[in-house]
Amino acid sequence: MANYASDSDSDGDAPAATEGGAAPGLPESSALLPPPPLDLLQPPNFITRQWSRGVASGASPMWKGTMLCMSASLISHAVVIPSEARKHVAHVMKRAASFVPDLYTVDADYALSELCKDEQKLDRVLLSREFHVSLGRTVAIQVHQIESLVAMLRQKFRSQQRYWMDFNKWEHFINDDCTRSFLSLEVTSTGLPEISKQITMVDDVYRLHGLPEFYKNPRPHISLAWALGDVSYKLKQAIKEIEKTLSSMGKSQQCNLRCKFSHIVCKIGKKMYDICKLAD
């Protein structure tokens, strides 16, 4: 990975010392050239941006760049929890918050334990929002790659068909640097072959752009809550208790979270690109 200039780098360094150690003398004022036009100092393609670490899953590390802008790119399924499944998910969230009090909602970053005290707010902030199933790693791309990346992804996904996805298993995940743990719903059966194929398609495009491919054994999921650090043990215990509670319920009280694939998006920086959108 190339190193980029930091904010501490200066464009106007002091003149180099001569061999004798003294700085060279300044020319007479009459011989001084006029300052160059500002356009030369900052050409049209000059971009300086700073990307700071976010709190959500897969957030890219801080990049300080000059001349080339680095953007965080994420391609994913857009998923909304069906209204008939929200009561079931709300029950699980309340149980999880009682076992792991330091859980926060993904992206919104509300304390889950506080949010669970108000069912309407829990539904509005967490259950009604759009979730995402990652089809590729969150990567840093150069600004000149954006147009090509989006165009190739759209070409790859131009002839997709609808299929069902069953989020049927509560699971915990940890990000690569073990700074955050996640409570998630995983796809382990219906929809898994189709999602795996789509991940391979994204890998093909990433490879052409010199970007890292997805994990060897993908486990498609949506994350609903996160905690700081590695709290695997707590989440594992919470999931065991949740599964006991669910198994004691009758089938009429259980609700499998089933969604139909219809939309793939690619988020680059703050902009969202539609890659594939099927009509209802």
How would DSSP label each residue in 95-154?
A: HHHHH-TT-EETTT--BHHHHTT-HHHHIIIIITSEEEEESS--EEEEGGGHHHHHHHHH
Per-residue pLDDT of the chain (280 residues; tens, 9 = 90+): 433 333 434 333 433 443 344 444 444 444 555 554 444 444 444 333 333 333 334 443 333 332 344 556 788 989 999 998 998 999 999 999 999 999 999 988 899 999 999 999 999 999 999 999 999 999 999 999 999 999 999 999 999 999 999 999 999 999 989 999 999 999 999 999 999 999 999 999 999 999 999 999 999 999 999 999 999 999 999 999 988 888 877 654 555 689 999 999 999 998 999 999 998 7
Distance in angstroms (rounded) separating the CA atoms of residues 246 and 227: 23
Whether 6 is covered by a domain: the verdict is no
Looking at residue 74, its pLDDT comes to: 83
Whether 188 is covered by a domain: the verdict is yes
Looking at residue 132, its pLDDT comes to: 94
Looking at residue 39, its pLDDT comes to: 44
Q: What's 30's DSSP letter?
A: G
User: Which residue shows structure tokens 């690619």?
Assistant: 266
What is the CATH number for 259? 3.90.1140.10
Domain extent for 134: 43-277
Looking at residue 7, its pLDDT comes to: 40
Number of folded domains in the chain? 1
Residues 6+ apart with CB under 8 A from 168: 185, 186, 187, 188, 189, 190, 256, 257
Q: How many CB atoms lie within 10 A of CB 221?
A: 22
Angle at 241 between CA 258 and CA 100, to 5 degrees: 95
Whether 5 is covered by a domain: the verdict is no
Whether 26 is covered by a domain: the verdict is no
Whether 157 is covered by a domain: the verdict is yes
Whether 198 is covered by a domain: the verdict is yes
Q: How many CB atoms lie within 10 A of CB 127?
A: 20
pTM over 0.85: no
Whether 19 is covered by a domain: the verdict is no
* Four-CA torsion 126, 128, 134, 135, nearest 10 degrees: 180
Whether 243 is covered by a domain: the verdict is yes
Q: Tell me if residue 184 falls in helix, strand or coil.
A: strand
